[in-house]
């Protein structure tokens, strides 16, 4: 165990990481419970465990006590280059170890990767790269001017991953994953926007000019053609337009099938694999194996859902022709539905098109998935009532419920609404915190 006192230089709300400049002048990265709220400028006392086999100042499982606040004690960011942040004194470079320090770095944006609640950017300068990241909610726009090719200045806390050899004492073998963690999007300043006229765009403009010129020549020549030739050209254009419209509608349908659920599962899998690599680097194979097992579970669940989505892409596919039997068929293929989902029906079922049944299956899958995953429901009742002019699908659960005003388009509700409207029907949801949820879909037949 180790105890130290100092000033907080960087801490995000809800994050389990904070950075401290100790009273002894040393910089530390500390992990804590997300419930412990601190901010830059807070004076704190910290007690925790120094990680073994590391060559930098890192403490885990901290107990934190806030003793005061003095923002003037937070130092200014040190201006450095991307190349300097890729060097370490242990490798013979004439540079200090800047781990956990506040730095400011300038580079050209090579890649922008927007995730669920954060943005990661790759900066490039003089043959070297570094990552910078900041928190950003899905509905917030990116900073103005941020794009591939722009030059930006990023300010925040610098960290990296060490890769020690297996021994009782830390052995430095290099750093990987250098990262600047920014406190907010305001810490990213766009210095120069990307130039509009790139070589690629110049060639495209020349090509378009040549294409337009040739088109004009061909148009003048085509004026001498017969009326029959004109009709054939118009008919061909109409057919191409019909194909393009069909492709656009298919892309829209696929975007509803492959929505944020798959992105969340794959992002979670990537996070667990990254965590496993970190634990392996620190010599803890047990925790690494636990992370890999969870990642495998995520991939198996994603595979199961993807198979169901692919079923909906075909007019003719395997599985029952009856809607109710199709629902039960899908339920039997979902291991996590067993003992939770109960399917009933009322009335005489008419013959439905496969595309209609597939869309209803997607709505059912999303509703049950939300009830189990987000609502933590232990019982989900699915009921379909058939009438002469339509059907009503109800999915009711005993989960924790939610405020429908706060999740108007979240939890996949927008995709379900779009599917119902595409069938000429309506979609609505009734829910309240602590009272479960009920999805109601009415579709004409």
The CA distance from 293 to 299, in Å, is 10
Helix or strand or coil: residue 17? strand
Are 399 and 431 within 8 A, CB to CB? no
Q: Average pLDDT of the chain? A: 83
Q: For 248-407, where are the E strands, in sequence order?
A: 341-346, 380-386, 390-397
Mean pLDDT to the nearest integer, 297-312: 62
Percent residues over pLDDT 90 in the chain: 36
Q: How confident is the model at residue 377 (pLDDT cuts 50, 70, 90)?
A: very high
Nearest by Cα to 85 from 112, 105, 56: 105
* pLDDT at position 249: 58
Strands 151-162 and 102-114 come out as antiparallel
Domains of the chain: 2-73 (2.40.50.140), 90-192 (2.40.50.140), 317-444 (3.30.565.10)
- The dihedral built from the CA positions of residue 42, 45, 50 and 51, taken in this order, carries a sign that is negative
pLDDT, tens digit (0-9, with 9 covering 90-100), for 316-372: 445 567 899 989 988 887 767 888 999 999 999 998 887 788 889 889 988 998 898
> How crowded is residue 413: how many other Cβ atoms within 10 Å of its Cβ?
19
Residue 203 has which token pair? 């060639």
- Enter the tokens of residue 228: 């029959």
How far is Cα 84 from Cα 93, in angstroms, rounded to an integer?
A: 9
pLDDT digits (tens, 9 = 90+) for 383-438: 999 998 999 999 999 999 988 877 666 557 888 888 899 889 999 999 989 999 99
pLDDT of amino acid 357:
87
In the predicted model, is pLDDT for residue 146 greater than 70? yes
Tell me the pLDDT tens digit for each residue of 246-279.
446 555 655 655 554 565 567 667 777 888 888 8
Q: How many CB atoms lie within 10 A of CB 376?
A: 11
- Report field, pTM of the whole predicted structure over 0.85: no
Question: How much of the chain exceeds pLDDT 70, in percent?
Answer: 83
Q: pLDDT tens digits, residue range 84-113?
A: 998 888 777 888 889 999 999 999 999 999
How many beta carbons lie within 10 A of that of residue 241, not counting itself? 10
Closest listed residue to residue 443, CA positions, set 338, 362, 332, 356: 356
- DSSP secondary structure code for residue 76 in this structure: P
**Cβ density class 220-229: b for 16+ within 10 Å, e for less:** eeeeeeeeee
- Kindly tell me the burial class for residue 33, based on how many C-beta atoms sit within 10 Å of its own C-beta (0-12, 13-18, 19 or more): exposed
- Judge residue 60's burial from the number of C-beta atoms within 10 Å of its C-beta, 0-12 exposed, 13-18 middle, 19 or more buried: middle
Mean pLDDT of 10-22: 87
Among 50-54, 59-63, 301-305, 323-327, the minimum mean pLDDT is found in 301-305
């Amino acid at each position: 165990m180790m105890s130290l006192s100092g000033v907080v230089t960087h801490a995000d709300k809800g994050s389990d990481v904070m950075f401290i400049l100790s009273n002894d002048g040393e910089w530390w990265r500390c992990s804590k419970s997300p419930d412990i709220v601190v901010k830059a400028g807070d004076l704190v006392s910290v007690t925790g465990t120094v990680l073994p086999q590391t060559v930098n100042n890192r403490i885990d499982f901290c107990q934190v006590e806030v003793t005061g606040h003095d923002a003037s004690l937070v130092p200014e960011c040190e201006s450095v280059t991307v190349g300097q942040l890729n060097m370490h004194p242990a490798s013979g470079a004439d540079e200090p170890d800047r781990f956990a320090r506040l730095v400011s770095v300038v580079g050209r944006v090579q890649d922008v990767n927007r995730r669920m609640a954060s943005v990661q950017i790759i900066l490039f300068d003089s043959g070297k790269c570094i990552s910078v990241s900041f928190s950003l909610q899905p509905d917030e726009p990116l900073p103005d001017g941020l794009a591939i090719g722009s030059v930006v200045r990023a300010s925040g806390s610098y960290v990296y991953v060490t890769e020690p050899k297996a021994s009782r004492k830390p052995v430095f073998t290099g750093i990987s994953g250098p990262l600047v963690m920014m406190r907010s999007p305001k810490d990213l300043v766009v210095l120069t926007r990307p130039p509009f006229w790139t070589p690629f765009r110049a060639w495209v403009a020349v090509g378009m000019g040549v294409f337009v010129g040739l088109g004009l020549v061909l148009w003048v020549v085509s004026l001498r053609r017969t009326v029959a030739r004109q009709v054939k050209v118009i008919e061909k254009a109409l057919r191409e337009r019909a194909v393009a419209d069909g492709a656009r509608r298919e892309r829209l349908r696929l975007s509803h099938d492959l929505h944020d659920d798959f992105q969340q599962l794959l992002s979670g899998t990537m996070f667990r694999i990254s965590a496993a690599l970190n634990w392996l680097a620190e010599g803890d194979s047990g925790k690494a194996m636990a992370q890999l097992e969870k990642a495998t579970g995520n991939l198996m669940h994603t595979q199961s859902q993807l198979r169901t989505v692919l079923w909906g892409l075909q007019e003719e596919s395997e599985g029952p022709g009856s809607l109710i039997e199709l629902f039960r068929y899908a339920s039997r293929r979902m291991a996590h539905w067993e003992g939770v989902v109960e399917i009933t029906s009322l009335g005489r079922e008419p013959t439905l098109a496969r595309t209609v049944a597939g869309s209803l299956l997607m709505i059912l899958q999303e509703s049950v998935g939300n009830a189990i995953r987000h609502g933590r429901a232990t019982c989900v009742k699915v009921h379909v009532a058939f009438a002469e002019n339509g059907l009503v699908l109800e999915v009711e659960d005993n989960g924790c419920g939610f405020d429908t005003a706060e999740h108007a388009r979240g939890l996949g509700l927008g995709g379900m609404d779009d599917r119902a409207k595409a069938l000429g029907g309506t979609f609505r949801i009734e829910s309240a915190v602590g009272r479960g949820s009920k999805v109601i879909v009415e579709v004409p037949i």
